Structure 1
Amino acid sequence: MEKTLIPKALPVDQILDNLDQHGFSIIDNAYTPEYTHQLATECTSHLNEFRNAAIQNGIVSNIRSDHILWIDENLTIAQQHIQTLNNLATEFNRAFYAGIHEVEAHFACYNAGEFYALHRDNPQGKNGRVISAVYYLHEEWHDDWGGELRLQDKNDQWHIIQPKPNRIALFQSDLMHEVLVAKHQRLSITAWLRNDNTIF
């Protein structure tokens, strides 16, 4: 498998600076159109395998209504994105001494009317998640289709991040955020860069 390089759209130094100053960073036009199309095809071809998302220990909660499919070695196109995140993790470890040595990830599908209420990915630092990464892999999106990521940065400022195709949103896993109600099917890969070996 060809090694996926860190996306060139935003320099690594700028990503590091954004994370340091604000706790989040956005990468637009992350990959080639060819890769984006292959990834979207891989995702949609497995939609019948998606299941209701759980919060913890397999318990489904009304805090979220999306559907997910955990990414394993059989999903070879998605694995290339995970390699990109591993490459970025090396940079985060160098700059922040983050201790990241693992990436967990799943495809996520929000159908019309689905959402994820306000939460933190790493409440009280209990689960090893250091950086969260959301990659939007749908090939078309309109501003009035909803599904935005609403995020509170490390300076307590709120941001609305549109789920634009081929965009990666990186943010500290302890920041408050939510996915607003989608009005159209919204596809993504949600990943966590972790500093432990525990998979939830």
Structure 2
Amino acid sequence: MLQAVALQDPVQDDQANFNAVVNALAGQGWCVIPDFMPPEQWQPLAAEAKQLYAAGEFRLARVGHGDAAKVRPDVRTDRVRWIDPLEATPLQQAYLERMEALRLFINGELSTGLFDFEGHFALYPKGCFYRRHLDRFADAKHRAVSCIQYLNEDWKPEDGGNLRIYLPDGKGKETYTDIQPIGGSAVIFLSDQFHHMVMPSKRERLSLTGWFCKRR
């Protein structure tokens, strides 16, 4: 098993982080960025998400797309709360604006034609998981780049809940690397290239998960 390797030392400069994302997408297709979001940004988002969850605003996540989507507890057991740009709180709006800046930067450097962004909070209660999957649907291929922003305080290896991302080994087979959902870190990858899964979590696990999309 490979170990997760960050592209760079933790920095809080958006330019350095954005450059790292572009270099990764143009190269290996994925990256882990430590401290992609500083504590003064992600910790309030985590607190807000927990308040929304306590208020009953999260729903069981569904599998599939559009009218065909349905709850599949054999596949995934997390809860989600979509972010509506028209009803976003100030904290959510700041997050959306940052992702918009990243979208524009990726388009400017790679001419990828990313058009929009969609995202939600994802909360995994203790014991929850998401089986191996690909983020791009067979009947809806608009998702192009996946972005996972972790919102977990003091995450430890024994807490489980790793993101397992499957990678080609260059010999016609595949291997994988496990990534801890450490608060502030982000995982960004090409949506149609990498199967991945969320291992069972031994404590509540929280993230902001989103996708840069092309025109449908």
Q: What is the rounded CA distance, in whole Å, between the counterparts of 2:59 and 2:103 in structure 1?
A: 28
Conservation of the 8 A alpha-carbon contact between 1:115 and 1:182: yes
Deviations along 1:23-43, one digit per CA (max 9) or x if unpaired, are: 111221123322222111111
Per the alignment, residue 82 of structure 2 pairs with: 70
Structure 1 residue 12 corresponds to structure 2 residue 22: no
Conservation of the 8 A alpha-carbon contact between 1:134 and 1:189: yes
The structure with more radius of gyration: 2
Residue 58 to residue 11, structure 1, CA distance change in 2 (3 Å): closer
Match of 2:148, SS? strand
Q: Which runs of 5+ in 1 are unaligned?
A: 1-5
Conservation of the 8 A alpha-carbon contact between 1:67 and 1:109: yes
AA aligned to 2:70 is I
1:154 Cα deviation (Å)?
A: 5.9
Q: What is the rounded CA distance, in whole Å, between the counterparts of 1:154 and 1:126 in structure 2?
A: 24
Q: Which runs of 5+ in 2 are unaligned?
A: 1-11
Identity of aligned residues (%): 30
AA aligned to 1:60 is V
> TM-score of the superposition, structure 2-length normalised?
0.81
Q: What is the rounded CA distance, in whole Å, between the counterparts of 1:186 and 1:123 in structure 2?
A: 25
Moved more, 151-160 or 70-79: 151-160
Structure 1 residue 46 corresponds to structure 2 residue 65: no
Over aligned residue pairs, what C-alpha RMSD do you find?
A: 2.0
1:173 Cα deviation (Å)?
A: 0.6
AA aligned to 2:128 is E
Structure 1 residue 59 corresponds to structure 2 residue 70: yes
1:126 Cα deviation (Å)?
A: 3.1
Structure 1 residue 80 corresponds to structure 2 residue 98: no
> TM-score of the superposition, structure 1-length normalised?
0.87
1:80 Cα deviation (Å)?
A: 1.5
Q: What is the rounded CA distance, in whole Å, between the counterparts of 2:17 and 2:208 in structure 1?
A: 21
Structure 1 residue 94 corresponds to structure 2 residue 108: yes
Per the alignment, residue 130 of structure 1 pairs with: 144
Per the alignment, residue 3 of structure 1 pairs with: none
Moved more, 9-18 or 98-107: 9-18
AA aligned to 2:186 is I
Moved more, 45-54 or 8-17: 8-17
Structure 1 residue 176 corresponds to structure 2 residue 174: no
Q: What is the rounded CA distance, in whole Å, between the counterparts of 2:105 and 2:134 in structure 1?
A: 23
AA aligned to 1:161 is I
Match of 2:27, SS? helix
